[in-house]
Amino acid sequence: MEARRSDRLLWVTSLLFVVWLVWVESSVQYFEGSLGSDLRLDSGGVALVAGSFLLPYGLVQVPVGRLIDRGKVELWLLLAALAAACCSLVFASSNSLQGLLLSRIGTGMACAVAFPASAVLARRSLPADRFALAMGFTDGLLGVGAALAAVVPLLLGRSDWRDLVLFQGLSVALMVALPMLLLGGRRRAPAQLPTAEQDMRVQRWTRAGVNRLIQCCLLYAWGLGFVFGMAQYGLLSSLRGWPNSLMEGLTLIMSIGLVVGMVASGAFGGRPQQRGGLLLTGTVITLLSLLLLIKTSLPQGVLMLPAFSFGVGIGTSVLAFPIAEASAPPGQTAMTVSIVNTSGTVMGGLMTIVSGLILQASPQGDLSLVLLIYGALALFGVAMASWISFSS
């Protein structure tokens, strides 16, 4: 009983690490102007610094997940939090592009531990039917981290960007590293893993399990393709010439809908037989909401409704994690979650680039490319959900 309670406290601490990584990844956009002027960086150098987090974060997750599955998740979280704090200190004291890039890359690599470790702790500390809810809640923290990125600079006032980064480094040390050190020390690990658990870790993937993993990777890539490519970066707003207040309002509503969709999908997706129907419903809602946002000239107040349902529909993509994990061999939770999350991260980065190209190629008011590319992505999501639903 004491071990289960300690595991839950460890899981909550890992969630704080997830919030922190989203906060750090998102916060650069709020101080990139002062960063560039302070160090005399051109726009290309600033963009390179801002984008140098996601690539190592995505690529390192799979091998890190494999290592976490082999045990000592508490140690990995502790080391990652300490490394993230140190990299933040280096970033805050850097006066060159090379120093900024290396410290930012190191932060991304350290943060790669957070999500798969949280999944392992959720599986270890919660009932089996709560794993889907745990993943929905964990992925829904995306909105909390993004909100912190916007709010903290306002709370700190006119602080220098170096002060903000130092505050971030201190935060991860106090919120994650210190509790992990205390909780890890209190928890008494067995001297040797049980034989049954050792046997589970050498089981191989079945062909059906690999096929299901591929389906889940494609489904989550569909979701994050929309999140990073369209829902968060004002593509429609730029082409339609919406005022900043409307763009910010729609982005906020989409983000709230995304969190609601993820948490609700996790809550209702605890039973495996319900997941296919939820996915199919969510992808259809996404398609219809996209068409309303693109093809109709709705009043500003009414636009909030399809923006909210758009986020809710995308949020169902979080079910890719419990579906993939249920098809994986025992003892490979972290690696499975890492593979699915990496596919979404890569697709999100790709669709961000695609959205930039659409903006360059489309004249003001022309949404034909948006309808063509994102309409095809929405139909792809419906097809993937149908495939998963009927093959369950």
Whether 2 has a pLDDT exceeding 70, the answer reads no
Instruction: Check if 2-189 and 206-391 are the same fold.
Output: yes
Gap between the Cα atoms of 275 and 273, Å rounded: 6
- Overall fold of domain 206-391: Growth Hormone; Chain: A; (1.20.1250)
Whether 168 has a pLDDT exceeding 60, the answer reads yes
Here the tokens at position 115 are 């999500």
Q: Tell me the average pLDDT across 75-82.
A: 94
Whether 212 has a pLDDT exceeding 60, the answer reads yes
Alpha helices in the chain (DSSP H): 2-39, 43-51, 54-69, 73-93, 97-111, 114-125, 131-156, 161-172, 178-186, 195-200, 207-226, 235-240, 244-268, 272-295, 300-315, 320-327, 333-361, 368-391
Here the tokens at position 73 are 């998740």
| 271: phi then psi, degrees, rounded to nearest 5 | -95, 125
- The domain 2-189 is placed in CATH, from the list 3.30.470.20, 1.20.1250.20, 1.10.238.10, 2.60.120.620, at 1.20.1250.20
pTM: 0.84
Domain-wise residue ranges, the chain: 2-189, 206-391
What's the pLDDT tens digit per position in 303-319? Answer: 889 989 999 999 999 99
